[in-house]
Amino acid sequence: MATNYVFDENIIRIPVLPLRGLTIFPDMILHFDVGREKSIKALDEAMKNGQMILLVAQKDVKTDLPTEKDLYKVGTIAIIRQILKLAGGSVRVMIEGMSRAEIISVIQETPFFSADVHEMAQTSSTLASAKKQAYIRKARQLFETYAELAPKMTGDVILNVVSMDDDMGRLADYIIQNISAKYTDKQKILEEKSDLLRLKKVIRILMEEIEIQKAELSIQNKVNEQLEKNQKEYFLREQIKVIQDELGENDEYAEEINAYKRAILNLKLAEEYETKLLREASRLSKMQYTSPESGVIRTYLDTCIELPWNNESKERTDIAAARRILDQDHYGLEKVKERIIEFLAVRKLSGGIKGQVLCLIGPPGTGKTSVAKSVARAMGRKYARVSLGGVRDEADIRGHRKTYIGAMPGRILNAVKQAGTKNCVILLDEIDKLGNDFRGDPASALLEVLDTEQNVAFRDHYVEIPFDLSNVLFITTANNADTIPRPLFDRMEIIELTSYTDEEKLQIAKKYLIKKQFKKSGIYGSMLKIHDDAIRRIIEEYTKESGVRTLEREIARICNKSAVLITKKTSKKISVHASDLEHFLGVAHYKKTNAEKVDRIGVVNGLAWTSVGGELLEVEACIVPGTGKIELTGNLGDVMKESAKAALTNIRKNAETLGIDKDFYKIYDIHVHFPEGAIPKDGPSAGIATATAMISALTKKPVAFDIAMTGEITITGRVLPIGGLKEKTMAAFRNGIKNVIIPKENMADVDEIDKTVKSWLNIIPVSNIDEVLNLALRFDKSAKIKKEKMPEEYISPIKTSDAPSSVINTSLPQ
């Protein structure tokens, strides 16, 4: 040891070499490469002064430029036995560990580490000889077990462990440096002074490493077994193939390939696509029958062959027969039927027009889906339905690439394949409920399907061969046109299905629903009789809908309960009148009430459209002292709020004419409320009702109770047209209100109103708010008021309080 490194008998100053992921023990000879400049300088310094150096591990192997805090405090003093310079500036060094040492302080960090250290004395155990031998024997036994499992353990190492003297400390050091333990675990052994504790820790580490080696060996054995199994299967398949060739059994597989090729040729596709399919069949012939890839190709060829490339059904051209079928299947819907007959007549005269896309828009339960079925039956075409509600993945429309596991064609080509003809009728149901997310926009994928210029060569991602969709008649359905993407909406011809009147529901129930439920329940006509008064009461007090789905369910409940009575032989014939409904259906869901027959200040009967029909929508206005604020409540949308503000501006403009203080907007607060605040409301056509309510409140003049009104108001007082007139007038009719104020421009829509409703109502057209006020605030009850009594069976219990939690729209959705 160099004398210039000695400061006293216990402390020495020597260079320090940080190690990454490596721990050196005393009596250990090891060579390793050194590449860091600071470490090479430390080696050079050590070679100049006695070849002694402290080897200490750094805490994080990722640290390239360690500092004092990055180094462990305990390392090994070693002698440099050999240094060999390598290409690139690094060196390979051989060292021999001498003794443990602890860093007292780091003297310098540049240009190399240098520290004052002192050697650590080993603490010998005072255990009895028997216990000492037990620990040593256990350690040797575990090491032999570890050596059997370790793949690269040499016999010399095992021999050294077995033949080593009974020094527990040396044995622990030798074992730990020859097993695949983590360097952090080795560092803990290096730092331990007690030879007994050191050996105990090594025994624990050995036990853990043995379990790890067993797990690794088990995994390796499983991998080897799988490889051997695959290799064995390969040889067996090859042998089977040779045997099948000898026996001639491969002829069946060859015949399957030939059948594919004949089917492909029979499709009479363009040469380019025919060649593509034949190439796939050739690939199949070169594969093993049980190969997974052969299954993919076989499924692809089956799909392509099953598509009706040239198969068309004969179309019915008899217009009278088509009309007869439509009348058999549906009651009413005259406009819908007329449009379909026009469509068929044009096809007959023109020899077939392509690219027609019909869109049936209407409330739920009005027969949109069944109309599409009837169209297919009337035209003599095959029918297929595609449900689009909730579809979010573009691949649902265009299919998946066949490279994906479980790939399949999209819903459009699946529907064509299901129908079996290329000129089928495909119903795209609930097109307004399409979604989109990170997987794409199915609405955009439908643009090609419904575009007459593009669907002549529609490419499904799975089939990859263009398919002609131009002969397909696409019919779409929707409840609300607002949610249909505009580019898609422009490609369709809109046919609106309005809600049914009570009389229409009665006839539908008698002609279709009752017969259908009798058949389902196994009831013959003579067993059960449901009278008209019972049906009317079900419509009025047990259902609230635009269509007839709930009505059909209530009729089904009557049939089911009747079936129980007939089965128990309680009754052979059952007759159901209105008074019997509580027994079959329970208490009525909707009470039969009419609008209040009292003139009130600031309360106006408005009319609204909802997805389940028309509603009577009261508008209330109240004037209180304040600072000119206007408060609008009732869960209103932006359009409705703007309409109220437009009405207020018109009132301020005409305040003197109306006899209102011109500064009312400064000294009063106006609160306008639409009752049933839990129900969202929007639309402009409550404008004249809102204006009338505010003027009534400001002038203290009551509003006539037997008037209902609908119309949009402008800031100049003009009354603009609205939508949903049929439903709104039905709401007035059901609530016993005879006089309905409508915009003059809506008189063209009066023909759409039900005949019974139109004959009973007094419809008054107006063009400005002054006319509305003259009728509502100064109403002459002898003018144009009908005195005949409203038929009791037509009055339905419809009030806004009964409305479901859907948007009450004061205008018809466009």
* Residues with a known catalytic role: 685, 728
How many angstroms separate the CA atoms of 348 and 378, rounded? Answer: 13
Structure tokens at 317: 């051209």
Tell the residue number behind the tokens 């994080």, with chain if given: 60
Using alpha carbons, select from 56, 29, 32 the residue that is nearest to residue 174.
Answer: 29
Strand runs labelled E in 626-709:
630-633, 668-673, 681-682, 702-703, 707-709
Using alpha carbons, select from 72, 75, 184 the residue that is nearest to residue 119.
Answer: 75
Decide: 674 and 637 in contact? Cβ < 8 Å. Answer: no
Any bridge partners for residue 383, and if so which?
425
**800: which DSSP letter?**
G
**541: which DSSP letter?**
I
How many angstroms separate the CA atoms of 537 and 544, rounded? Answer: 12
What 140-145 contacts at long range (C-beta under 8 Å, 24+ apart), as own/partner pairs, is 140/171, 142/203, 142/206, 142/207, 142/210, 143/175, 143/179, 143/206, 145/210
Cα angle for residues 344, 346, 350 (degrees, 5° grid): 120
Question: For residue 231, which amino acid is it?
Answer: Q
Q: Where are the alpha helices (DSSP H) in 315-394?
A: 319-329, 334-350, 368-379
Mapping DSSP onto H, E and C, the string for 30-63 reads EEEEECCHHHHHHHHHHHHCCCEEEEEEECCCCC
Any idea how long the chain is? 814
Decide: 622 and 697 in contact? Cβ < 8 Å. Answer: yes
From residue 524, give the alpha-carbon distance in Å to each of 314, 538, 797: 37, 21, 33
**768: which DSSP letter?**
B
Beta strands 528-530; 574-576: pairing state:
parallel
Peptide bond into 111 cis (omega under 30): yes
Half-sphere exposure of 537 (CA within 13 A, CB side): 17
Q: What angle separates helix 687-699 from helix 638-653, to the nearest 10 degrees?
A: 40
Determine whether 219 is exposed, middle or buried from the number of CB atoms within 10 Å of its CB (0-12, 13-18, 19+).
exposed
Q: Where are the alpha helices (DSSP H) in 471-524?
A: 486-489, 502-508, 514-521
Structure tokens at 727: 């439903």
Structure tokens at 520: 């389902």
Structure tokens at 181: 């333990």
